[in-house]
Amino acid sequence: MQALANAGITDISGLLNYLPRKYINTLSPLPISQVKPGETCLEGHLLATPTLQYYGGRSMVRAKITDSSGVMPVIWFNQPWMAKNLKKDQKVLLYGAAKRFKNGLILQNPKVLHDKGVIPQYKPLPGLPSKVFSNLIDQVISSLDKIQDPLPEALLQEYHLCGLHEAMLYAHRPKNMDQVQIAERRLAFENLLFFQLAVSSQQADNAAGPDMRKAGFKSDDFWEMIPFKPTGAQRETLRVIYEDMKNPVPMRRLVQGDVGSGKTAVAFGAAVLAIKAGYQCALMAPTELLARQHHNNALKLLAPFNVSCGLLLGGMKAQERRETLEQIADGTCQLIIGTHAVISKSVNYQNLGLAITDEQHRFGVRQRQSLAERADEIIPHILALSATPIPRSLALVLYGDLKISVMDELPPGRTPVKTRIVPESKRRDLYQYIRDKALSGEQSYLVCPLVTDSEDADSEKKSAVSLFNSLMASSLKEVGLALTYGSQKEEEKNRAMEEFYTGKASVLISTTVIEVGVDVPNATTMVIEDAENFGLSQLHQLRGRVGRGDKESWCFLLGEENERLRTLTGTNDGFEIAKKDLEQRGPGELLGTRQHGRMLNVYGINDIRLVDETSSCLEQIKNDPKKKEIYEDLKKTALERFEKAIRITGLQ
């Protein structure tokens, strides 16, 4: 059927793996007196025949259901037939959403069910009626014996997993919720194991890499020549990186560090070792803004090491780009910093020994590999940096081809940013605060979710352009303002940032383009419009743009107070915030749906305990010589299942 093909379902296995998105459990209806807001199942009698009313062409059927514990109003919108189908004193089984209304709860648009049970709910397939789909599931379940279980019996027993046939039967036709849990554990274990195996298989085993022992340079030598004292986390991380780089096997390491933890200095330390050993180093950043800042910082910090730094951007003038490419090719340029331009085919490195990707969550396995493959004879070491803290177990899944270092220590003198939720009624007071700060010489960011109002015609969200124009003519007209956003012309963006860097502009109004790479120590106030529309981790990243000096700094969240925003006001720990974000919104939101939404459709990835368990399982199988055959069989299946997805998305 075309509807199935459109959904990527082309065989029995594909149909079976189209799992229910949730289950309606009607085995144990709840007494009315115990109902709380949310989905619920009730069983009782109707107090009277339902009434039908119309308001502005919209139908509304009202009724009341009662049991031995109480009475609850029921309402159906745009379902006028309910008034005819239901009668007084009729016994009904209802499943729907209980919502708070005035002083009580009301059951809204419930399904009228005929039998108790556990009912799978699938995401609708356009063009395929649900009854037809249900019949197809029944047919394939009867053919389960034709499908081979991809997990060996020994593994099933060791990890207390049911077989594939049993799991599919329980997933699609469960008799109780215990069977659902058994099925979910088995299928999630399988998917997580294969996904991690596919990701970890992206790197070549036992490949030769650049041996940097000849440099005769130690990590402590680097710290002695820079103008600040490193944290213990910085020292330890660079020490481990130097150990990796002095091993002839290519390094694959991810450094996770909270905002301001000093990852860039560590990366520059790694670059110095590579250059001292006679190799070039390339650093790839996700935006031109961040690339420019890294270039400026490298020129200052690495001056004592006499490192030649080059900048390579997509928007460079032809002559400037040609000169940079020549310097890279002849080896004159030792540290090349840029955007995706550093992996373009026009770049010919003379002797690339280290490839660094900053803001790793914006790149994938393929992009890391593309940078590595720019070298001709050897496979360079790879160092990935991420300021988006994610739970270690999830990092093992996403970056299975990388070893992980965590930098969880901030430099001395950094004071935590204070965070407060600000209601709309206090907006005028907030603008007065920003004005006073500007007049006293401090700077502020105002971040909006949209560039222009036209992006979302039905939305009431503030846009950067409209807010800029409004404040220019009202509350902040006496204050220097600048405006920047992602799609802005490069020269306009650079001019706006230059005005803010130099202090000519006291307030920078922008979109989330300033989420990474902007370092203005004099900025002490961050205001985020419509804060409830952002994920916790993104809010934490934006908050990290202030508090980079020694002055007290504030982050003000404009929006409706909710649990997520309260979390942000209670902690500055990026890893704790990431954990909460994962629990509340899932990994697709945590890492950005555009970057990771497709790949993170891996069944079971929200279950951190299971992620840990499958990671341990993979390590055990991979390192046990007796299980080599099992490992190779599983690896083959994993690549068949996930390699295409990894190739399409770049692990996005």
Beta bridge partners, 336, equal 282, 310
Q: What is the pLDDT of residue 83?
A: 93
The residue type at 623: N
The residue type at 629: E
Query: Rounded mean pLDDT of 35-42?
Result: 91
Q: Is the pLDDT of residue 198 over 60?
A: yes
Nearest to 512 by CA among 481, 482, 534, 494: 534
Q: Based on the number of CB atoms within 10 Å of its own CB, is 373 exposed (0-12), middle (13-18) or buried (19 or more)?
A: middle
458 pLDDT band (50/70/90 cuts)? very low
Q: Render pLDDT for 556-593 as a digit per residue (tens, 0 to 9).
A: 999 888 888 888 998 888 777 877 776 666 555 444 43
CA distance 590 to 584: 9
Q: Render pLDDT for 474-521 as a digit per residue (tens, 0 to 9).
A: 989 889 999 998 788 878 888 888 899 889 999 999 988 887 656 788
CA distance 209 to 312: 25
Q: What is the pLDDT of residue 204?
A: 54
CA distance 586 to 105: 29
Q: Is the pLDDT of residue 650 over 50?
A: no
- Other CB atoms within a 10 A radius of the CB of residue 501 amount to 18
State what percent of residues in the chain have pLDDT above 70.
Answer: 86
Query: Rounded mean pLDDT of 445-456?
Result: 78
Question: CB within 8 A of 627, min separation 6: which ones?
Answer: 620, 621
Q: Render pLDDT for 52-111 as a digit per residue (tens, 0 to 9).
A: 999 888 999 999 999 999 999 999 999 999 999 999 999 999 999 999 887 789 999 999
Q: What is the pLDDT of residue 598?
A: 35
Q: Is the pLDDT of residue 546 over 70?
A: yes
Beta bridge partners, 55, equal 58
Q: Render pLDDT for 334-349 as a digit per residue (tens, 0 to 9).
A: 999 998 888 788 889 9
Query: Hey, do 213-407 and 418-571 end up sharing a CATH topology, with the first three levels equal?
Result: yes
Read off φ and ψ for residue 385, nearest 5 degrees: -115, 140
CATH no., domain 22-113: 2.40.50.140
The arrangement of strands across the sheet holding 418-422 comes to 418-422, 554-558, 523-528, 443-447, 507-510, 481-484
Reading the block at residue 39, the tokens are: 């989905």
Name the superfamily (CATH) of residues 213-407. Answer: P-loop containing nucleotide triphosphate hydrolases (3.40.50.300)
Q: Is the pLDDT of residue 390 over 80?
A: no
Least confident of 142-151, 173-182, 452-461, 481-490: 452-461
Least confident of 137-141, 161-165, 176-180, 294-298: 137-141
Q: What is the pLDDT of residue 516?
A: 65
Q: Is the pLDDT of residue 548 over 70?
A: yes
3-state secondary structure of 420: strand
Cα→Cα distances 562→90, 145, 252, 310, 598, Å: 41, 49, 40, 46, 28
Q: What is the pLDDT of residue 609?
A: 74
Q: Is the pLDDT of residue 138 over 80?
A: yes
Query: Rounded mean pLDDT of 23-34?
Result: 92
3-state secondary structure of 302: coil
Q: Render pLDDT for 592-640 as a digit per residue (tens, 0 to 9).
A: 433 333 334 466 666 767 877 888 898 899 889 988 999 999 999 988 8
CA distance 391 to 544: 19
582 vs 326, higher pLDDT: 326
State pTM to two decimals.
0.66
The counts of H helices and E strands in the chain are 24, 21
Name the superfamily (CATH) of residues 418-571. Answer: P-loop containing nucleotide triphosphate hydrolases (3.40.50.300)
Nearest to 283 by CA among 333, 208, 243: 333
**Which DSSP symbol is given to 98?**
E
Domain boundaries, the chain: 22-113, 213-407, 418-571
Q: Based on the number of CB atoms within 10 Å of its own CB, is 146 exposed (0-12), middle (13-18) or buried (19 or more)?
A: exposed
Q: What is the pLDDT of residue 490?
A: 78
460 pLDDT band (50/70/90 cuts)? low
CA distance 437 to 445: 12
Q: Is the pLDDT of residue 651 over 80?
A: no
- Other CB atoms within a 10 A radius of the CB of residue 415 amount to 13
